[in-house]
Chains A and B, each alone.
Chain A
């Protein structure tokens, strides 16, 4: 009996709360309508952009913030990388045989190594968002594609998990997500850049080594960057149309 009473009271109180909070919502909405303009729908026009990235090798300090931020932002599974940082040691005796390491993708930085006999530098890597992507060419069902704004994406609801694209990528940028059994890769934070934000890796880079570039935007600093520096893409002989440009890339980098 007492329980019944309590239930009735609870129902009454809940009813009041629902009505009041509903009213509050309406009031808030009205207020919002007056002060904050509604965001324009479909403001982002893919045809007006052509995305890529620039990386200034000399500015990278190998802190691994980009790798951490990418993993956190995109839920990258442990042991796999949408972006990673490599450390090169190139000796003057054997410039064609560099020593490279990337412990856990460089996520936690690098152990100190004193090597006076060699030059050393860091090379951040990510999907090159190639304009003539071998991975897109290889996909048997068209699950991976180039967006009109130049980003190579995977439709994970469509991917059959054959992994032909992983074989086709010359840069090792793709992996099979063991949780979903579909291919995953860098999306250039497509969910962010289409809202006017930059990528997670660029956001956290303390030295601004990485820069998101919109080649179709005449005001983007990338144009000045490309004009005034020696830039190169990775494995240019493969003619993949890579759009990740490195400033002062050493010839030993693969």
Chain B
């Protein structure tokens, strides 16, 4: 052993290495989030509650997408379509059995299956080819609705029969609770999943596939699993959106939705659940902001397109100022102040 210790590289002193800050257990974030949301729903007016619910639904899908794209390095432009799959499954199941939990499970099952199929194909593809495949999914799925127009109602979509909210709860509040319930459970499960070995394997596969394989990671299985998990999140989000809108139509899940989702997680900060939350907030706030700005200017053309312009601008500015996304800004300034 003496031979081995003969030379210690570069630094001779043994510094007590700065250990990374320990984060609280994800359950505390989930609990805090739940408390905050419930409190908010009692203060906010109905429309704001509806918006809050929408943020929750978006958070569900962006969280799943950021795990796939940020941690595993697979770019999906098809998550809007997976949401549509979840939404339609939810609608069909709900209209048939009128049982919310069952319908949500149905949505999860169908999107998981869709995720397995797409994920198996995706695991063989890299970079632009993967983007192309998922883009194709985003284009194909909405047009399926017109092919089976008798069951899926073509462009008109389906309206969904829903039970009234329990007790004297206003609809919007009930929606916010359910959507955030879904979002917090999803993100909690995701956070638990990516904490340990699975999360490490995901990132290892993203960084260097050959080295990961040699280190014993089953690359294909990891990639398919990541896709399936992410698809299930999208499916749940789709069901939540269908529940929010009380109807489902292909127009609600256009190609731009998929693109917006990717943009949102990039702006928020790839690979971080906090970034997914920022992205979800932006997805609701920016269009609302654009709408008020458009209304004020009085031009209808502007109103329709302003959201896109703003999103593009925000993306450019954030990428220039903080390449790590919004979630990274806060973190770095705090740690700088501490030093």
User: Are A and B physically bound partners?
Assistant: no
